[in-house]
Amino acid sequence: MPSSWLAALEDEASKVLPAVFFEYFRQGSGDSVASTDAAAAWDRYRLVPRVLNDVRDVDLTGSFLGTPASLPIGVAPTTLQRAADPAGEAAMARACAGSGVPMVLSSNASTPFAEVAATGVRWWLQAYLPEERLLAVPMLEAAVASGAGAIVLTVDTPVVAAKRDGDGPSALTQVPPEWLRVNLGDAADAPKARDLGVRDIAWLRELTGLPVVVKGVLHPEDALRAADAGAAAVWVSNHGGRQLARAASTAGCLPGVVEALGGAVEVYVDGGVRDPMSALSALALGADGIFLGRSPLFALSVGGEDGVRRLFSEYADGLTEALRLAGSADVGDVRGLEVREF
């Protein structure tokens, strides 16, 4: 069971956020089937606990691209964080740095790379590539200069899907224009690439000298293509249900991707993970790391930097209990836990 604080987080955010921003954070695309079903998809899994094991000392240490983190959890890229809290990405970054977890910064962030880096957070840059690739070079070089540890190439957005904005104004029209193009430069108004291919993975590696994580993969064959092209990790994601409106759940797609890759590269997942038990299921199914998107945004809205810190603390407490009850003292051993689907 999630803590009462975690369970109430979205409702509490709805009370403090202007309606247009809450809806923007919460919404999916089209009929919102993919976004609505995301959390319930994890509920289909049941774990078979082991017993007669020493679980006095629990190790929650995770690893992202070979670097330890205090938890096997990170923050996924989201935009408009300054709509959640005036300090925006800087507050999110300070919370991540203080909690020992990585943060992925949206290329459409409203805070300069250098300000995020100054918090000491371990951060990666999420990037969309424009049709004219060279327009992205200044942004990518600036990220490298500011200490980005990886490039997260988002591959599920050849076009931006229509969202459910209802009858109200779009959130993007309610913020200062400069929030939406702080780091983008000439790529700000460029159309997204509709010709993305595996060659772009190698191009990014050569240009930046950084590992490339491919985000937005659901099919095992695409995961293999990405890994064969040199991706350092594959990120199972359906963009929070904000792209293809009836995309399959990440909970359902994760096992196939893990099996196909066979440990060749790290596998991450996001989408619908709202509590420690869902996180434990993801780990048991083979995820090396879990990224949270909406939950950190809502925590930032409710409590600022302290709210995000509390989010990680709640996950640490919940995972510790869940691991003990599952008969494991180490998150690294959870992959061997038997999982059944109902």
Q: Is residue 53 in some structural domain?
A: no
Q: Is residue 129 in some structural domain?
A: yes
Domain hosting 227: range is 4-47+65-318
* pLDDT, position 155: 98
Alpha-carbon separation of residue 248 from 52, 77, 108 (angstroms): 38, 20, 26
Q: CB-based burial of residue 28 (10 Å sphere; 0-12 exposed, 13-18 middle, 19+ buried)?
A: buried
How many structural domains compose the chain? 1
Q: Is residue 149 in some structural domain?
A: yes
Alpha-carbon separation of residue 251 from 73, 156, 281, 308 (angstroms): 16, 17, 9, 24
CATH number for 245: 3.20.20.70
Q: Is residue 327 in some structural domain?
A: no
Amino acid at 299: A
Q: Which two tokens stand for residue 201?
A: 């993975």
Residue 24 in marked binding region? yes
Q: Is residue 118 in some structural domain?
A: yes
Q: Is residue 325 in some structural domain?
A: no
Residue 268 in marked binding region? no
Residue 170 in marked binding region? no
DSSP three-state, residue 77 = coil
Residue 315 in marked binding region? no
* pLDDT, position 171: 86
Question: Would you say 110 and 135 are in contact if contact means Cβ atoms under 8 Å apart?
Answer: no
Q: Is residue 338 in some structural domain?
A: no
* pLDDT, position 2: 60
Residue 293 in marked binding region? yes
Q: Is residue 342 in some structural domain?
A: no
Task: Write down the catalytic residue from 82, 163, 239, 310.
Answer: 239
Place of tokens 């690439």: 193
Residue 106 in marked binding region? yes
Residue 175 in marked binding region? no
> Is 219 designated active site?
no
Q: What is the DSSP letter of 257?
A: H
* pLDDT, position 164: 63
Could you list the pLDDT tens digit for every one of the 342 residues in the chain? 568 999 999 999 999 999 999 999 999 998 889 999 999 999 999 999 999 999 999 999 999 999 999 999 999 999 999 999 999 999 999 999 999 999 999 999 999 999 999 999 999 999 999 999 999 999 999 999 999 999 999 999 999 998 764 545 678 788 887 787 899 998 888 999 999 999 999 999 999 999 999 999 999 999 999 999 999 999 999 999 999 999 999 999 999 999 999 999 999 999 999 999 999 999 999 999 999 999 999 999 999 999 999 999 999 999 999 999 999 999 999 988 999 998
Q: What is the DSSP string of 111-154?
A: S-HHHHHTTT--EEEEEPPBSSGGGGHHHHHHHHHTT---EEEE
Distance CA 309, CA 300 (A): 9
